[in-house]
Structure 1
Amino acid sequence: MPPVEYAVAVEQYLAAAAGLGEGSRRVYRIALATWAWALAGRTPPSDGGRRRAEPPVLPLALLDDPRAAARLRAAVLARAAVAEPRTLRRELSVLRGAVGWWRARGWLAGDPLAGLALPEPVAGPDGATALTERQARLVLALPATLRDQVCWHLVYESGAPIERILALDVGDVAGPGRTGRGRAAGLGWGPGTERLLPLHLLSRTGGPLLLTDRRAPAAVPARDRCPLTGRGRLSYRRAAEVFAAATRGLDPAGRGWTLRQLRLAGR
């Protein structure tokens, strides 16, 4: 007999998946729980909240509902606005693997992922998808934490890849002037970042430039945690989620903008 509940089917799939370590099973479980929120027509919690929240209880047969494909397409578009492309590809691949396994056992009749493709990435030197100058100004004027203001100004004023900015440490940007050192060598920024950095770095002498809101797990390497507070390095996913949530009210589509669009606006 096929399992009735989606969550039970998830656990049976994970139990049968050969070669998965406990850490990978945890990642797979979080990804599959995320899609459960979409199937229920609800928005999943963000980042850490997504890991702790109990996903909605729903029947596995909901994947055979005619509305499932449209809900998953909408969820993919919503995740694309806040998740790194590699993360979204991995999460969708996890769901494809589970759906294929369930279909092979006759638990599902159809494939709600048939024809589902990832949206085109936001990138390109032509600026076609960049925010306008006015939109960028509105973003930089938003009320936000000092960390997020530093992040957004650096993205906009330096034009550096977001991944490079998140990899910076305090020592790479500390000191006078508008240029970096170490991993920030060759990186320049404008007056907004120059004004914010001293406030952001007050009393800090080392560790990641941009930190999470809570202490990092014990397994996080020392180079990715603050020696004073124990907080971890800000991840791409969390930075993107925060930015999308902050700009949702400015975006006519109501989805929120991406950090890549802000970066292109500053070029």
Structure 2
Amino acid sequence: MPSVQPVEYAVAVERYLAAAELGTASRRIYRIALDTWAWALADRPAPGGPDRRRARPPVLPLALLDHPDAAARLRTAAAHRATTTDPRTFNRELSTLRAALTWWRAQGWIHADPAAGLRPQALPEASAGPAPLDPDQLRALFALRAPLREQALWHLLHESGAPVETVLALDVDDLDLRHRRSHPSAAPVHWRAGAARLLPLLVAGRTAGPLFLTDRRAPAATPAADRCPHTGRARLSYRRAAELFTTLTRPLAPDWTLRRLRPGHPRKTPVAPGTKPGATEEN
């Protein structure tokens, strides 16, 4: 029997996210993607950059998705979005929308599929990129007198092979320290002895919030999901993590980047049961 239909698009989004049983970091990424499409349905451009996270999306009736011009609005928005973001991000956002639409239709809340005519973008051929650090370079790296946070991050990136963005999006409660892996609700990350030794020290006394934190307290406008409830510090950004890596490794080499810690082939990010899209990168 269909559940009671929510009136507002935003309420439907929250119900979908709750039903998908996502981790905190993944739920934040999916909400941002679905909010982006809300701006499109309102015929308004979505905010860009840091403003995108803080902006409150327009209030829309969920029934707008059944309106005859909903598909045209989404086509226009998709064409614009495809020119302003990379293909992987666009495809993730489109997959997020389709997953939500499928779930809402299954609940009997909407009947049309305004995203039916949208197609994912072709992905560029993967480039070889910089060579991974060799064993001697890794030994030199891990012998550096670097802070615990950096050593834990570097070991986790190297041992898991996960994208930097995925690792930085982890929360403390995403970790299964006993089994050296993330919980099923988070992006799949596995690690070995080095990270297993450092991660318990890094999270000591913390039960929630971002795994990797900045040194300073978070600005007042920082979303709760990106702020530690114990220390008030913010989630470490990719930009800052990359800067620290470059600075700390400069005595060893001038051109090392965090990407060189990731060995082998990239791992795919997970999808939720059935239709949940993957990836944790954000624009």
TM-score, normalization by structure 2: 0.48
Q: Secondary structure, in 3 states, of the residue corresponding to 2:263?
A: helix
The structural deviation recorded for 1:129 is: 2.1
Q: Secondary structure, in 3 states, of the residue corresponding to 1:143?
A: coil
**Counterpart-to-counterpart distance in 2, 1:214 and 1:128:** 32
Match of 1:257 in 2: 256
Is the Cα contact below 8 Å between 1:180 and 1:187 reproduced in 2?
yes
The structural deviation recorded for 1:132 is: 1.3
Match of 2:215 in 1: 213
- 1:1-267 correspondence to structure 2 within 5 Å: 129-182=131-184, 184-251=186-253, 255-264=254-263
Specify the code of the residue in structure 2 equivalent to 1:192. Answer: G
Is the Cα contact below 8 Å between 1:132 and 1:265 reproduced in 2?
no
Is the Cα contact below 8 Å between 2:216 and 2:233 reproduced in 1?
yes
Answer 1 or 2: which has greater helix percent.
1
Could you say what the CA RMSD is over the residues aligned between the two structures, in angstroms? Answer: 3.3
Is the Cα contact below 8 Å between 1:171 and 1:206 reproduced in 2?
yes
Specify the code of the residue in structure 2 equivalent to 1:129. Answer: A
Aligned length: 151
The structural deviation recorded for 1:146 is: 1.0
The structural deviation recorded for 1:213 is: 0.4
The structural deviation recorded for 1:173 is: 1.2
Is the Cα contact below 8 Å between 2:177 and 2:196 reproduced in 1?
no
Classify 1:216/1:193 alpha carbon distance in 2 versus 1 (closer, same or farther; 3 Å): same
Specify the code of the residue in structure 2 equivalent to 1:259. Answer: L
Q: Secondary structure, in 3 states, of the residue corresponding to 2:261?
A: helix
Classify 1:238/1:212 alpha carbon distance in 2 versus 1 (closer, same or farther; 3 Å): same
Q: Secondary structure, in 3 states, of the residue corresponding to 2:207?
A: coil
TM-score, normalization by structure 1: 0.50
Specify the code of the residue in structure 2 equivalent to 1:228. Answer: H
Give the unaligned 5+ runs of structure 2.
1-46, 51-85, 87-124, 267-283
Classify 1:265/1:144 alpha carbon distance in 2 versus 1 (closer, same or farther; 3 Å): farther
Give the unaligned 5+ runs of structure 1.
1-20, 25-85, 87-122
Specify the code of the residue in structure 2 equivalent to 1:201. Answer: V
Is the Cα contact below 8 Å between 1:157 and 1:266 reproduced in 2?
no
Is the Cα contact below 8 Å between 1:246 and 1:256 reproduced in 2?
no
Q: Secondary structure, in 3 states, of the residue corresponding to 1:206?
A: coil
Classify 1:249/1:183 alpha carbon distance in 2 versus 1 (closer, same or farther; 3 Å): farther
